[in-house]
Structure 1
Amino acid sequence: MNEEIEINTAYIQLGQFLKLANILETGGMVKLFLADYQVLVNGEPENRRGRKLYPGDLVEIEEVGSFTVAKQK
């Protein structure tokens, strides 16, 4: 299932996105999470918590699901 996550800025960093999507509770958990789970951004493996995500980007996380970044209306 693909869930749409709305942002009200031009972009969001991957670490912030994981918190916004309620996947992680704190930013301190991001580095460990990215080491333990495969995260794909637009089909490419990603392990940088500072990766900028823009509206239209697709984030797929193993054992969690897929999410689309959307501009808040």
Structure 2
Amino acid sequence: MIKEFKVTSEYITLGQFLKEESIVSSGGQAKWYLQENPVLLNGIKENRRGKKLRPGDTLEIAHETYELR
């Protein structure tokens, strides 16, 4: 099942996304999480918490797929 995530500004960072979705509770945890867990952005592995996510991007995290709108 694909979950939709609404981006309310031009972009959101990967770290902010992880916090918004309650996957992590802080930026420090986001850095650790991205080192230990595979995250795919548009099918490509991504581990930078500052990576800008924009509407139209697709994220795969912990067996969940998110479409950014």
The normalised TM-score by structure 2 is 0.91
Gaps of at least 5 residues in structure 2 are: none
2:40 matched to which residue of 1? 40
Following superposition of structure 1 onto structure 2, how do residues 1-16 of structure 1 map, counting pairs within 5 Å? 1-16=1-16
Residue 19 of structure 2: aligned partner: 19
Residues matched between the structures, number = 69
CA distance in 2, matches of 1:64, 1:56: 19
Q: Which amino acid aligns with 1:36?
A: E
- Whole-Å Cα distance in 2 between the matches of residues 60 and 21 of structure 1? 13
Match of 1:66 in 2: 65
Distance 2:48 2:56 in 1: 19
Say which SS state the counterpart of residue 59 (structure 1) adopts: strand
- Runs ≥4 residues deviating over 6 A: none
- 1:16 is displaced (CA, Å) by 0.4
C-alpha separation in 1, matches of 2:47 and 2:3: 21
Percent identity for Structure 1 against Structure 2: 45
Which runs of no fewer than 5 residues in structure 1 stay unpaired?
A: none
